[in-house]
Amino acid sequence: MNTENTLLSVGEAKKQLGVSSQSIRRFIFEGQLIGEKTDTGRWAVESDSVRQLLARRKSPHNAKPNATQQATTVVSNSAPNATNRQVNTALRTDIPKLKALLKPYYDENSDHPWATAQQIVKTFHQNTFDFARPEKFKINLVIDWSNYIHSIYMEEQTVGQLYNFDQISIDILLNETTIYKYEVNLPEHVYFKHAIHQIGYSEFDSDKAIIWNHIAVYYDEIMVCRSAPIQLEVIVTR
């Protein structure tokens, strides 16, 4: 019997397991099978992981009474390894792929050598099916108050997964006009520094502030890219 670990096509894997192609892809995403995308963009599955999954699926019916406990051990030991290998494969392919797709938008001679947020979102959606784990890409909104207080200060918060945003919603995210109220939603550092050193605390009623917004794209905890900044005028009030 040949037990060499080779790469199987989705068709070969589904034939051995007696399931659909959709189930094979689901097993890969769940970590029950170890798979990777080939140069042609198709999934390939390691034959060892197919044999192990087949054994786990059969063991509760054909093994001895303690086989369930043994099968549980196999699952707990092998599934994390499968998941880790899948994530590592995605890291090796997904991040370089998005960077390569966005490279034509970057102009080193420009004052802002970045792609716009709309270009990032559009490029991602045009190539979603080429990524191994598209759901791993997340968006952070970065609000830069530095121009207002004449000192470096930025806020950053995660707003969601990249695939949930289109060009319209990302534009709304960046250009939403907000009235910032001190001690409510205005960062304390920003309020006090500006109020005390620029307009005087006792005289502070309302003020206009120029801020800069941009998005930062992350893959898990890894920074992938950022967008060109958008200038926005907001109202700061008591």
CATH of domain 7-102: 1.10.1660
Average pLDDT, the chain: 76
Other Cβ atoms within 10 Å of 206 Cβ, number: 11
Show me where the domains of the chain are located. Answer: 7-102, 107-237
Residues 4-20: pLDDT tens digits? 778 898 889 889 988 88
More confident residue, 87 or 121: 121
pTM for this structure?
0.58
**158: closest CA among 86, 99, 223?**
223
The Cα 94–Cα 106 span in angstroms is: 19
Count of alpha carbons within 13 Å of 39, Cβ hemisphere only? 0
Residues 27-79: pLDDT tens digits? 887 778 888 877 777 788 888 889 888 888 776 554 444 444 443 434 444 44
Extract long-range pairs of 89-92: CB within 8 Å, 24+ residues apart. 89/36, 89/37, 89/132, 90/131, 90/132, 90/133, 90/136, 91/219, 91/220, 91/222
Residues 109-145: pLDDT tens digits? 666 678 999 999 999 999 998 898 899 999 999 988 8
The Cα 125–Cα 122 span in angstroms is: 5
